[in-house]
């Protein structure tokens, strides 16, 4: 995650909150036709991709950080019960709060589909210094 203030004051902090930009590497490695370089993700798209990657990471997948991620796909193999959606929602909120400092006001809605062992997850949040809400939707399915 990169942080680029465009205008700074004497304390090296951005003077205008709307000028804060975020940039991340696009993991699809799409090639820019003009520069022949990897196209970066900017601002909202960078944060959305980061949130998605954090939620889909299971415990133990990131070396030297064994409890990084949401562990959501591992929870799909548990039996669905009346409290399963709440537990997964709390786990998603915790992992985003702990691992993504750019995100504020997290709301998570988990809609279990019992017939095909899948979850429809909608994550709504705001980015720091931005009043506009952003929504990320994920369909989590158990693969055999």
Tens place of pLDDT for every residue, the chain, 144 residues? 544 444 444 455 444 445 557 777 777 788 888 888 887 777 788 888 889 988 988 888 888 988 888 888 777 777 777 788 888 899 999 999 998 888 989 999 998 887 777 889 999 999 888 888 999 999 888 776
- Beta-bridged to residue 110, according to DSSP, are 121
Contacts of 70 (CB under 8 A, 6+ apart): 54, 55, 56, 57, 58, 91, 92, 95, 96
For residue 97, what are the domain limits?
44-141
Domain of 100: which CATH number?
3.10.450.40
Domain tally, the chain: 1
Cβ proximity of 39 and 24 under 8 Å: no
Query: What is the pLDDT at residue 28?
Result: 78
Query: What is the pLDDT at residue 119?
Result: 85
Residue 80 inside a domain? The answer is: yes
The H-assigned helical ranges of the chain are: 43-56, 72-75, 84-99
């Amino acid at each position: 995650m990169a942080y680029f203030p465009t205008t700074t004051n004497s304390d090296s902090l951005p003077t205008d909150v709307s000028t804060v930009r975020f940039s991340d590497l696009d993991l699809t490695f799409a090639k820019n036709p003009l520069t022949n370089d990897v196209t970066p993700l900017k601002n909202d798209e960078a944060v959305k991709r980061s949130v998605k990657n954090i939620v889909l990471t299971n415990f133990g997948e990131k070396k030297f950080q064994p409890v990084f991620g949401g562990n959501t796909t591992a929870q799909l193999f548990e039996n669905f019960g009346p409290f399963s959606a709440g537990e997964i929602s709390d786990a998603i909120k915790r992992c985003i709060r702990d691992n993504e400092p750019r995100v504020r006001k997290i709301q998570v809605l988990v809609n279990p589909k019992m017939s095909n062992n899948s979850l429809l997850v909608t994550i709504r949040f705001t980015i720091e210094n931005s009043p506009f809400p952003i929504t990320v939707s994920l369909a989590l399915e158990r693969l055999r």
